[in-house]
Chains A and B, each alone.
Chain A
């Protein structure tokens, strides 16, 4: 059974801190790994990673994939209260493009 595990489950940091969120996976087939930010209902797409070692960056957020060790990290630097959300990691196993989601990491950024 395909499995995606995220850690930590929750995290509280102060504004300005840097955080690293982890995502490991065990799947039979791998096509890509996706990160989403979920604030209310809808997950918002952040990154899609397909190749090892290539960092994707968007502002203060960055992510990288290690296909040998089967994990990805999402970094957020200089966190702001607006970064407070649940961050979801999902793997596209290439089977009809279905996504298998991790349980998410709930990030709270305090003043």
Chain B
């Protein structure tokens, strides 16, 4: 299985600021994804991080709010821009590995005041 790390593990931010979350996989993977889990809810896909091209966003999520980078096959970043308290969530990256299994990083717990 792939080992995925995320930084930071948690943060408390002020309204209007931005936070960049990093995701590192210990092996090259074809696809990486970013999910959000709001309090008491299940996981919702934000976007697919494409290597070498713009991310593919799901309905309700836009690049200006959640810019994503994926410079290579093992690393991706998600930025939460101009944050508001509604952005308080757990943000998770995942990687699509061999045999179609998806593994998740440890998550970033974001609180916006």
Q: Decide: A98 and B48 in contact? CB cutoff 8 A.
A: yes
Given A41-B92, A43-B43, A45-B1, residue A99 in contact with residue B102 (CB < 8 A)? yes
Please give the distance in Å from B67's CB to the nearest CB on chain A: 19
Given A42-B106, A88-B42, A88-B43, residue A98 in contact with residue B33 (CB < 8 A)? yes
Q: Which B residues between 77 and 99 are near A, CB-CB below 8 angstroms?
A: 90, 92, 94, 96, 99
Q: Which A residues between 7 and 47 are near B, CB-CB below 8 angstroms?
A: 31-32, 34, 36, 40-45
B-side contacts of A104, CB under 8 Å: 42
**Which of A31, A43, A97, A103 has the most B CB atoms < 10 Å from its CB?**
A43
Partner of A99, one of B1, B45, B90, B107: B45
Closest to A1 in B: B59
Closest to A99 in B: B102
Q: CA A8 – CA B106 in complex, angstroms?
A: 26
Interface SS of A by simple majority: strand
Q: CA A43 – CA B37 in complex, angstroms?
A: 11
Please give the distance in Å from B58's CB to the nearest CB on chain A: 8
Q: CA A102 – CA B44 in complex, angstroms?
A: 10
Q: Decide: B42 and A103 in contact? CB cutoff 8 A.
A: yes
Please give the distance in Å from A50's CB to the nearest CB on chain B: 8
Q: Decide: B92 and A45 in contact? CB cutoff 8 A.
A: no
Closest to B94 in A: A99
B-side contacts of A96, CB under 8 Å: 31, 48, 56
B-side contacts of A31, CB under 8 Å: 100
Q: Decide: B107 and A48 in contact? CB cutoff 8 A.
A: no
Q: Decide: B100 and A48 in contact? CB cutoff 8 A.
A: yes
Partner of B92, one of A34, A43, A48, A97: A43
Residues of chain A touching chain B, judged by Cβ–Cβ distance below 8 Å, are 31-32, 34, 36, 40-45, 48, 50, 88, 90, 92, 96-104
Residues of chain B touching chain A, judged by Cβ–Cβ distance below 8 Å, are 1, 31, 33, 41-45, 48, 56, 58, 90, 92, 94, 96, 99-109
